Amino acid sequence: MKTELISKFLEKYGHEPAKNYFTPGRVNLIGEHIDYNGGLVMPCAVTLGTWLSIAPNNDNVIRFKSLNFPEEQEFELQSAYTKTGPEWYNYPLGVFHEILKKHKLPVGLDLLFFGNIPIGSGLSSSASIEVAMAYALNDYFNLGYDKIEIPLLAQKVENEFIGVNCGIMDQFAVAFGETDKAIVLNCNTLKYKLVDCNLGGYSLAIINTNKPRKLAESKYNERVAECQTALKQLNQEITLHNLCELNAEKFALHSHLITDPTVLKRATHVIRENDRVNLAAKALNEGNLTEFGRLMYASHQSLKDLYEVTGPELDAVVEFCAGYEPVIGARMTGAGFGGCAIALLKKGQEEDFAKKLTDFYVARVGYPAAIYISEIGNGASAI
């Protein structure tokens, strides 16, 4: 990929890049819809990602090109920018905006991006391009940002410059991921640890349902509100800042306070899902992938029945996986209502899996899913 990118760079700009970078996408292995309840998430970096090649120019401009989009743009170096429409280059431009508030760059830059993350399907190509840009600028100009500042800056760009209200998980995972490690992260406190996640004879299959996530935003807000209702009612008897301060046992003592059965289902998912992340970390520590896979299925079931954020497309994928022996665990990942599912698939079965899943899915849903095979990869780095 690097060689290809270098020759494309040469073709576009007439000179070679000075430096090249890679930043992955991410999946959340387990711990869904609990980040906003003070719970744990367990993302990992994947081997799909965004490549970025850069070279200085003497024209005092930033040139944005991507092999994924036709629009190209050039901006004079200045101390601040504003978002100008929906075009892709606003993502890296937002990073310049943040960085130029504090630093003056000595030269302009020619930039070329290429990504093989399916865009807009929840694998966080947006965090990947933001972190790629921030990491590259910090590295190339020796700006002195420390490790944690890069994902925080990228998140700020997504929240304020792009206007998408995301948490820190995505930027964190693509910045800090490591090969064969999962990240156990509390998104509130930013406390995290890396746990060994050697998939051994298994790969991570990523299945894009190709279902647009239209409902995701409104339902997301609805779920946040339902969790707040649960928290408020539980606080009549105990003092809680977040639902995830309770484990299942303690929750059982107070759950009678929750009056609405739907809210009770939501809170039950949250508490059990957080417990499952702890169990999943334990299973990984013990090298017990079978148990890890079981927890993935349990997570999906809970997101389907209690949290009601899956939908027929994601359910079809997981139903197929549950009946397909070389898969030991599968679940939706991300906000739900579409986007991607993940599965732990025995190596060597990729072709058979793709064929049989496609037949099953097309018969059920009417159009095909897209399947990607990935490993657990590294976070942002120079290559």
Q: Which residues are catalytic?
A: 170
120 touches which of Mg ion, ligand ADP, none (CB within 5 to 8 A by kind)?
ligand ADP
Least Å distance, CB 249 to Mg ion, is: 36
Least Å distance, CB 124 to Mg ion, is: 5
Pick the closest to residue 153 from 83, 79, 97, 77 (CA basis): 97
Classify residue 295 by its DSSP letter: H
The amino acid present at 181, given as its one-letter code, is K
Site residues for ligand ADP per CB under 6 A = 50, 66, 68-69, 88, 91, 113-115, 119-126, 129
Least Å distance, CB 131 to Mg ion, is: 11
Pick the closest to residue 129 from 84, 81, 189, 66 (CA basis): 66
Which positions make up the binding site for ATP?
A: 66, 120-126
Give CA–CA dist 302/311, Å, rounded: 13
Distances (CA, A) of 93 to 28, 200, 218, 232, 271: 27, 40, 28, 41, 39
Least Å distance, CB 363 to ligand ADP, is: 27
333 touches which of Mg ion, ligand ADP, none (CB within 5 to 8 A by kind)?
none
Q: Which residues contact 329 (CB under 8 A, 6 or more apart)?
A: 289, 292, 293, 294, 295, 296, 297, 321, 343, 344
340-346 and 327-333 as β-strands: parallel, antiparallel, unpaired?
Answer: antiparallel
**Per CB under 5 A, 126 contacts Mg ion:** yes
- Distance of alpha carbon 193 from the chain centroid: 17
Classify residue 118 by its DSSP letter: P
Which is nearer to Mg ion, 94 or 326 (by Cβ)? 94
The amino acid present at 45, given as its one-letter code, is A
Which is nearer to ligand ADP, 121 or 186 (by Cβ)? 121
Which is nearer to Mg ion, 231 or 332 (by Cβ)? 332
Which is nearer to ligand ADP, 217 or 305 (by Cβ)? 217
Q: Which stretch binds Mg ion (CB under 5 A): 118-126, 143-151, 258-266, 320-328?
A: 118-126
Taking the CA of residue 337 as centre, how many other CA atoms within 13 Å lie in the half-sphere pointing to its CB?
15
348 touches which of ligand ADP, Mg ion, none (CB within 5 to 8 A by kind)?
none
Q: Which stretch binds Mg ion (CB under 5 A): 73-81, 124-132, 184-192, 261-269?
A: 124-132
